[in-house]
């Protein structure tokens, strides 16, 4: 911990990310609420999430571009500036009442491209600025700081939704991006050059995915199956609370990410190096049970707050552990393209769920969808380790010790 506190680059990196996370989560809490209330359709909300996460699925194209750039600051800086300007344009259109479905989808798509490139560059930073033996703690603490700043963004966004409207959220989002872009420029992170040709980067990234680490590939494919359910909590909160109470919507959305924040803190301090598989699938099993409980036992506000906090905690836990494991076992010179390639599996499943679940809400009711989904998640989290027992034995200790 002391070595991280004395690492100026690590501190600047997390300071920059705090502004970016506050801004992005202003955006994240506002967009589902705004699309549902303004356009009066949970299916349209699903389409918006489909477009956003569909573009994230193409992140494997940005990985080689990022890996071939020596100084990643310029990629992050330009992305942050472009997204900030786009947020201002969206705010202006909301303010003057000239926003329609097509323009809204186009702006969300353009901003998603910026987010995709920015995050791919961001993925490569921590393995460079900290020692490998500090990676579990660094990733855990960065995740906790990110979730804390995300919570600030959700609280601010919720307040602006309740008191004002989406216009103010988008303006504040752009200001946060501009502040983050300034800190990006003063953060020294010159990195090693990768392949000069994009084609070489694409090939080497996919080669490592399919030939470099079979356990990582198997785990990533399994994670992608669970990713089909990753937007279910967000869509559920929007559908249950947005139309009835902006206060409850903001509260539950924020509590969901407060749970994720505490998950990051716990994993940063107690990362299960020897029990990666057990910790991941245990978290998934608990998450499935909680999804069922959230609709079966929900009758009081105190129960709602508890369930959505815990769902946030366990839904974040399994993916945080996966991300840290990925960073530990992947060579740092190809981590950008490897992470972006592997996200393709997760992204495809996520976008399918984003459209599939709103339709199921309308056809069968949200209670039935949550109960069946929770049961399936729990069953899958038990069945996969039985079918492929090696994934329960996954450990990152050997990799760290041999680094």
Tokens standing for residue 382: 């038990």
User: Length of the chain in residues, anyone?
Assistant: 403
Written in H, E and C, the secondary structure of 238-252 is HHHHHCCCHHHHHHH
Q: What angle do CA 168, 171, 172 make, to 5 degrees?
A: 85
Please list, in sequence order, all residues whose beta carbon lies within 8 angstroms of the beta carbon of residue 329, skipping any fewer than 6 positions away.
213, 216, 396, 399
Of 380, 376, 402, the C-alpha closest to 391 is: 380
**Rounded to a whole number, what is the distance in angstroms from the first to the last CA of the chain?**
19
Below-50 pLDDT ranges, the chain: 195, 398-403
pLDDT of residue 96: 92
pLDDT of residue 399: 44
pLDDT of residue 308: 94
pLDDT of residue 202: 59
Q: Which residues of 225-263 are buried (b: 16+ CB within 10 A; e: fewer)?
A: ebbbbbbbbbbbbbbbbbeeebebbbbbbbbbbbbbbbb
Q: What is the domain partition of the chain in residue ranges?
A: 2-401
Distance CA 304, CA 310 (A): 10
pLDDT of residue 172: 94
CB 344, CB 51: distance < 8 Å: no
pLDDT of residue 310: 96
pLDDT of residue 40: 85
Identify the CATH homologous superfamily for domain 2-401. MFS general substrate transporter like domains (1.20.1250.20)
pLDDT of residue 398: 46
CA distances from 188 to 14, 68, 184 (A): 13, 17, 8
């Amino acid at each position: 911990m002391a070595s991280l506190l004395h690492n100026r680059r690590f501190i600047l990196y997390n300071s920059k990310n705090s502004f970016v996370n506050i801004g992005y989560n202003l955006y994240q809490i506002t967009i589902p609420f705004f699309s549902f209330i303004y356009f009066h359709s949970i299916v349209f909300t699903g389409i918006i999430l489909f477009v956003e996460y569909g573009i994230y699925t193409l992140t494997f194209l940005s990985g080689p571009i990022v890996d071939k750039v020596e100084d990643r600051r310029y990629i992050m800086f330009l992305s942050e500036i472009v997204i900030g300007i786009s947020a201002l344009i969206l705010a202006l259109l909301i303010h003057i009442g000239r926003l329609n479905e097509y323009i809204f989808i186009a702006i969300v798509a353009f901003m998603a491209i910026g987010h995709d490139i920015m995050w791919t560059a961001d993925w490569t930073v921590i393995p460079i600025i900290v020692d490998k033996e500090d990676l579990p703690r660094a990733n855990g603490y960065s995740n906790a700081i990110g979730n804390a700043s995300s919570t600030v963004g959700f609280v601010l966004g919720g307040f602006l939704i309740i008191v004002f409207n989406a216009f103010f959220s988008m303006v504040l989002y752009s200001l946060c991006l501009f502040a983050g872009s300034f800190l990006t420029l003063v953060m020294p992170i010159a990195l090693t050059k990768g392949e000069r040709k994009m084609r070489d980067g694409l090939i080497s990234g996919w080669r490592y995915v399919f030939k470099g680490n079979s356990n990582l590939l198997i785990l990533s494919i399994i994670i992608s199956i669970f990713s089909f359910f990753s937007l279910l909590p967000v869509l559920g909160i929007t559908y249950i609370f947005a139309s009835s109470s902006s206060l409850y919507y903001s509260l539950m959305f924020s509590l969901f990410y407060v749970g994720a924040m505490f998950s990051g803190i716990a994993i940063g301090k107690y990362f299960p190096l020897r029990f990666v598989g057990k910790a991941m699938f245990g978290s998934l099993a608990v998450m499935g049970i909680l999804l069922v409980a959230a609709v079966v036992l929900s009758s009081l506000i105190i129960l709602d707050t508890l369930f959505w906090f815990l769902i946030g905690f366990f839904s974040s836990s399994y993916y945080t552990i996966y991300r840290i494991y990925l960073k530990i076992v992947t060579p740092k010179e190809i981590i950008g393209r490897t992470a972006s390639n592997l996200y393709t599996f997760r992204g495809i499943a996520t976008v399918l769920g984003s459209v599939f679940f709103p339709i199921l809400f309308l056809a069968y009711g949200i209670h039935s969808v949550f109960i069946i989904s929770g049961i399936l998640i729990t069953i899958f989290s038990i069945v996969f380790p039985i079918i492929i027992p090696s994934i329960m034995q996954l450990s990152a200790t050997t990799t760290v010790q041999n680094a």
